[in-house]
């Protein structure tokens, strides 16, 4: 069984649950929504997979970034999960983003290795002491966020610049097709995502 099949088997009917957004699959294969997991503390096994189960109304179907490049639209989540791993548990290995779309009754799932992402975005070698990042909004966290957002990771473009180029291309500026192809290549080099399209019933 590959990792995607394992996640979907463990996730089960929670895939359709709009009440909770974030989940943890532990090293023992148990699954909890994030609030329950944090309340149980040391009574449960270590976190292994972090899942963000996100829902988008129909007009988001026209947003090519959210559909085709979901991690570009989740910079805050990427940083939060990386810091959660660094500060709380090195057992956490994977981040999973599942975007549900009503316009075509599909969910797009992308799975990344957190350490691979950290290396390829220089988060793990940027000189910021992530052990000091304890609370959201701290100066250390803001510094780390700026370092992530200011890097030209996508064919010479930042996260925000890449998002704007992709949107302009899909809106009709065909002169940007080559640039989007290059951003696409960089996206896969940086994140190395495993992507699955899930039909929704």
pTM above 0.85, yes or no: yes
Confidence of residue 127 (pLDDT cuts 50, 70, 90): very low
Q: 116: which 2 tokens?
A: 């691979």
**What distance in Å separates the CA atoms of residue 65 and residue 45, rounded to the nearest whole number?**
35
Q: What is the pLDDT of residue 125?
A: 54
Q: What is the pLDDT of residue 43?
A: 84
Give residue-wise pLDDT tens across range 79-121. Answer: 999 999 988 888 999 999 999 987 778 899 999 999 999 999 9
Under a CB-based contact definition with an 8 Å cutoff, are residues 45 and 25 in contact? no
CA dihedral of residues 142, 154, 109, 94 (deg, nearest 10) = -50
């Amino acid at each position: 069984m590959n990792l995607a099949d394992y996640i979907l088997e463990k996730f089960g009917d929670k895939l359709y649950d709009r009440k909770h957004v974030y989940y943890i699959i532990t090293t023992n294969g148990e699954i909890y929504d994030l609030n329950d997991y944090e309340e149980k503390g040391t009574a449960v096994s270590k976190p292994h997979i972090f899942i963000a189960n996100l829902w988008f109304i129909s007009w988001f179907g026209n947003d090519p970034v959210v559909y085709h490049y979901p991690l570009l639209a989740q910079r805050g989540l990427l940083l939060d999960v990386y810091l959660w791993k660094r500060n709380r548990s090195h057992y956490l290995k994977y981040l999973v983003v599942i975007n549900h779309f009503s316009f075509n009754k599909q969910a797009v799932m992308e799975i990344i290795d957190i350490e691979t992402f950290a290396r390829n975005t220089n988060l793990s070698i940027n000189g910021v002491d992530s052990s000091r990042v304890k609370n959201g909004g701290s100066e250390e966290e803001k510094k780390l966020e700026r370092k992530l957002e200011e890097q030209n990771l996508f064919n010479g473009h930042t996260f925000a610049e890449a998002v704007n180029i992709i949107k302009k291309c899909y809106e009709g500026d065909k002169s940007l097709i080559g640039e989007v192809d290059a951003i696409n290549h960089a996206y896969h080099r940086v994140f190395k995502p495993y992507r699955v399209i899930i039909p929704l019933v």
